[in-house]
Structure 1
Amino acid sequence: MAQNLYGPGVRIGNWNEDVYLEEMQLSMTEDGYVHYGDKVMLVNPDDPDTEADVFLGGDLSLCMTPDEIQSHLRDELEVPCGLSAVQAKTPIGRNTFIILSVHGDATGQVLTYGQDFCLGITGGFDNKMLYLSSDHRTLLKSSKRSWLQEVYLTDEVSHMNCWQAAIPDPQLRLEYEGFPIPANAKILINHCHTNRGLAAHRHLFLSTYFGKEAEVVAHTYLDSHRVEKPRNHWMLVTGNPRDASSTMLDLPKPPAEDTRAMEQAMGLDTQ
Structure 2
Amino acid sequence: MAQNLYGPGVRIGNWNEDVYLEEELMKDFLEKRDKGKLLIQRRRRLKQNLLRPVMLVNPDDPDTEADVFLGGDLSLCMTPDEIQSHLRDELEVPCGLSAVQAKTPIGRNTFIILSVHGDATGQVLRYGQDFCLGITGGFDNKMLYLSSDHRTLLKSSKRSWLQEVYLTDEVSHMNCWQAAIPDPQLRLEYEGFPVPANAKILINHCHTNRGLAAHRHLFLSTYFGKEAEVVAHTYLDSHRVEKPRNHWMLVTGNPRDASSTMLDLPKPPAEDTRAMEQAMGLDTQ
Kept after mapping to 2: 8 A contact 1:113/1:180: yes
Q: In the superposition, relative to structure 1, how do residues 148 and 93 fare at CA in structure 2: closer, same or farther (>3 Å)?
A: same
More deviation, 45-54/260-269 = 260-269
Q: In the superposition, relative to structure 1, how do residues 245 and 82 fare at CA in structure 2: closer, same or farther (>3 Å)?
A: same
Q: In the superposition, relative to structure 1, how do residues 194 and 206 fare at CA in structure 2: closer, same or farther (>3 Å)?
A: same
Kept after mapping to 2: 8 A contact 1:205/1:215: yes
- How many residues are paired up? 262
Unaligned ranges ≥5, structure 2: 24-28, 36-53
How far apart are 1:73 and its partner, in Å? 1.7
More deviation, 237-246/158-167 = 237-246
How far apart are 1:95 and its partner, in Å? 0.3
Determine the C-alpha separation between the residues in 2 that align with 1:38 and 1:8: 27
Q: Which runs of 4+ in 1 moved over 6 A?
A: 1-23, 33-39, 257-271
Does 2:101 correspond to 1:87?
Answer: yes
**Deviation digits for residues 191-245 of structure 1 (CA, Å, limit 9, x no counterpart):** 0000000000000000000000000000000000000000000000001122121
Unaligned ranges ≥5, structure 1: 24-32
Determine the C-alpha separation between the residues in 2 that align with 1:120 and 1:187: 18
So what's the TM-score if we normalise by structure 2?
Answer: 0.76
More deviation, 71-80/49-58 = 71-80
Which structure would you say has the larger Rg?
2
Q: Does 1 or 2 have the higher relative contact order (CA < 8 Å, sep 6+)?
A: 1
Percent of counterpart pairs with the same letter? 97
Q: Looking at secondary structure, tell me which structure has more helix per residue.
A: 2
How far apart are 1:254 and its partner, in Å? 1.8
How far apart are 1:147 and its partner, in Å? 0.4
Determine the C-alpha separation between the residues in 2 that align with 1:133 and 1:238: 22
**Deviation digits for residues 55-98 of structure 1 (CA, Å, limit 9, x no counterpart):** 10000000000011111222221100000000000000000000
Tell me the secondary structure at the aligned position of residue 171 of structure 1. helix
Q: In the superposition, relative to structure 1, how do residues 160 and 8 fare at CA in structure 2: closer, same or farther (>3 Å)?
A: farther
Determine the C-alpha separation between the residues in 1 that align with 2:103 and 2:214: 16
Q: In the superposition, relative to structure 1, how do residues 78 and 9 fare at CA in structure 2: closer, same or farther (>3 Å)?
A: farther
So what's the TM-score if we normalise by structure 1?
Answer: 0.80
**Deviation digits for residues 127-156 of structure 1 (CA, Å, limit 9, x no counterpart):** 000000000000110000000001000000
Aligned to 1:75: 89
Determine the C-alpha separation between the residues in 1 that align with 2:31 and 2:215: 28
How far apart are 1:5 and its partner, in Å? 56
More deviation, 105-114/172-181 = 105-114
How far apart are 1:46 and its partner, in Å? 0.2
